[in-house]
């Protein structure tokens, strides 16, 4: 082979390599506008985790779906009295005003300060002409000066517009943290974050002993994102299946704990934030009493193996 041919082949090889690098750089995942960071471990003593934006979030909270009016108000107040510092609501739940009223009552009585409680709300990505205004309205209904975590409630036609509006409200200081909900695949995650300038800190998904998000958790962990479990006890109408599960019953007999406590502890030890819903004073008290025992790795594995990979919901 003479030198001329060698130079041509060498040149072609360089062009191919540059081409491969260029095509790879166009790949969504590589092109993601957001940097990878380490996910922090849960601080079980203080019941908090440091999010990827530097804010601390409580790892256990009260869910308020289907709690209306005074029931929502009393449950939130009861939760705060029992040490809860995270409350989950949403525009769709129709109880933002009640949640806000209960929190203000607790603040007025000196039980907590505003910066000691973490409020999450969510907006659907359709049905609004102006999403920044819709966020302001959530903030007004809550009446707590700012929203700790605002989520895109699920995928939908205006998801990018809503995402952008949340980013803008973070810049204004009305919202502190951005989250998304009901996103279960790498593809959907890449799609919604394609034009993002702020990484979601939390993804709230259906997540329980029969459908766990562990694989997805491994992926989003690269961005420091925490999965927050909704339906942690299986959700209304399905809690018996979880609470009466044989494996759970066996494990609870090793501790003086209830099925709900064993399941909630499994979520926490798995690195999932939990927000069990309840309007029952005893349950509210019971559900946060999960920091004085620890499941063994064998028990954790037994619960992990209950995964059927089937969700109850399809939204
Ligand atoms: N992002 C989303 O799309 C989405 C969807 C659904 C839910 N969520 C959020 O996630 C939260 C949790 O989900 P969820 O409330 O639907 O389901 P869940 O927490 O799995 O289950 C709630 C049910 O469990 C019962 N319960 C609670 N503690 C118990 C205990 N210690 N022993 C026995 N039963 C107990 C409650 O009844 P009692 O009232 O009698 O205690 C209620 O019927 C919601 O409240 C909401 O904030 C988000």
- Candidate from 239, 284, 287 with most ligand 1 atoms within 8 A of CB, to mutate: 239
pLDDT band at 22 (very low <50, low <70, confident <90, very high): low
The tokens for 172 are: 């204004």
Q: How far apart are CA 83 and CA 91, in angstroms?
A: 25
pLDDT band at 97 (very low <50, low <70, confident <90, very high): very high
List the domain boundaries for the chain: 38-235+270-289
In the chain, the DSSP E strands lie at 48-50, 56-58, 62-63, 86-88, 118-123, 147-152, 175-181, 202-206, 226-230, 273-274
Ligand 1 neighbour 58 (Cβ under 6 A): no
Atom number of ligand 1 nearest to Cα 276: 19
- Tell me: pLDDT of 274 over 80: yes
pLDDT band at 31 (very low <50, low <70, confident <90, very high): very low
Strand partners, 49: 57
Average pLDDT over residues 69-84: 98
Atom number of ligand 1 nearest to Cα 232: 20
Q: What separation in Å is there between the alpha carbon of 197 and the centre of ligand 1?
A: 33
Q: Burial letters for 190-202: b for 16+ Cβ neighbours within 10 Å, e otherwise?
A: eebbeebebbbbb
Q: What region, left, alpha or beta, does residue 127 occupy, with left being phi > 0 and alpha being psi -120 to 50 degrees?
A: left
Strand partners, 37: 223
- Tell me: pLDDT of 27 over 60: no
Which tens digit of pLDDT belongs to each residue from 84-94?
A: 999 999 999 99
The pLDDT value recorded for residue 8 is 74
- Candidate from 62, 150, 276 with most ligand 1 atoms within 8 A of CB, to mutate: 276
- Candidate from 65, 152, 229, 290 with most ligand 1 atoms within 8 A of CB, to mutate: 65
**How many Cβ atoms are within 10 Å of 215's Cβ, its own excluded?**
12
Average pLDDT over residues 51-72: 98
Which pTM does this prediction carry? 0.92
The tokens for 32 are: 């993601």
Q: What separation in Å is there between the alpha carbon of 175 and the centre of ligand 1?
A: 25
Average pLDDT over residues 48-63: 98
Nearest CA-CA partner of 315 in 153, 193, 127, 118: 153
Ligand 1 neighbour 61 (Cβ under 6 A): no
pLDDT band at 6 (very low <50, low <70, confident <90, very high): confident
Q: Burial letters for 62-82: b for 16+ Cβ neighbours within 10 Å, e otherwise?
A: bbbbebeeeebbbbbbbbbee
- Tell me: pLDDT of 32 over 70: no
Which tens digit of pLDDT belongs to each residue from 168-194?
A: 999 999 999 999 999 999 999 999 999
Average pLDDT over residues 145-163: 98
Ligand 1 neighbour 287 (Cβ under 6 A): yes
pLDDT band at 249 (very low <50, low <70, confident <90, very high): very high
- Tell me: pLDDT of 23 over 60: no
Ligand 1 neighbour 299 (Cβ under 6 A): no
pLDDT band at 30 (very low <50, low <70, confident <90, very high): very low
Q: How far apart are CA 48 and CA 174, in angstroms?
A: 22
Residue tagged active-site, from 77, 91, 93, 223: 93
The pLDDT value recorded for residue 26 is 47
Nearest CA-CA partner of 40 in 30, 52, 29: 52
pLDDT band at 290 (very low <50, low <70, confident <90, very high): very high
Atom number of ligand 1 nearest to Cα 233: 20
CATH code for the part of the protein at 38-235+270-289: 3.20.20.100
Our answer to whether residue 93 is catalytic in this structure is yes
Q: Which amino acid residue places its CA nearest to atom 17 of ligand 1?
A: 235
Ligand 1 neighbour 88 (Cβ under 6 A): yes
The pLDDT value recorded for residue 18 is 66
């Amino acid at each position: 082979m003479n030198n001329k041919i060698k130079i041509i082949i060498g040149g072609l090889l360089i062009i191919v390599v540059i081409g491969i690098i260029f095509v790879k750089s166009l790949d969504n995942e590589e092109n993601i506008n957001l940097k990878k960071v380490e996910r922090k471990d849960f601080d079980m003593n203080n019941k908090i985790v440091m999010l990827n934006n530097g804010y601390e979030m409580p790892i256990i909270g009260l869910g308020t779906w289907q709690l209306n009016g005074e029931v929502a108000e009393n449950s939130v107040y009861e939760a705060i009295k029992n040490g809860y510092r995270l409350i989950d609501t949403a525009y769709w739940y129709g109880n933002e005003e009640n949640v806000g009223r209960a929190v203000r009552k607790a603040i007025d009585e000196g039980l907590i300060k505003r910066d000691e409680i973490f409020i999450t709300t969510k907006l659907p990505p359709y049905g609004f002409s102006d999403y920044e205004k819709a966020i302001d309205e959530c903030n007004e209904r809550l009446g707590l000066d700012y929203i700790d975590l605002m989520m895109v409630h699920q995928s939908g036609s205006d998801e990018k517009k809503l995402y952008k509006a949340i980013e803008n409200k973070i810049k204004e200081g009305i919202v502190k943290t951005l989250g998304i909900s009901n996103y279960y695949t790498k593809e959907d995650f890449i799609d919604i974050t394609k034009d993002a300038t702020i990484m979601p800190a939390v993804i709230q998904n259906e997540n329980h002993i029969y459908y766990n998000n562990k694989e997805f958790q491994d992926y989003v962990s690269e961005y420091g994102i925490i999965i927050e479990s909704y339906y942690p006890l299986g959700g209304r109408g399905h809690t018996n299946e979880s609470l009466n599960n044989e494996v759970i019953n066996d494990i609870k007999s090793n501790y003086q704990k209830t099925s709900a406590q064993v399941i909630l502890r499994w979520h926490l030890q798995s690195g999932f934030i939990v927000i069990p819903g309840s309007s029952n004073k005893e349950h509210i008290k019971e559900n946060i009493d999960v920091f004085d025992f620890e499941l063994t790795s064998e028990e954790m594995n037994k619960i992990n193996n209950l995964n059927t990979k089937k969700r109850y919901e399809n939204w």
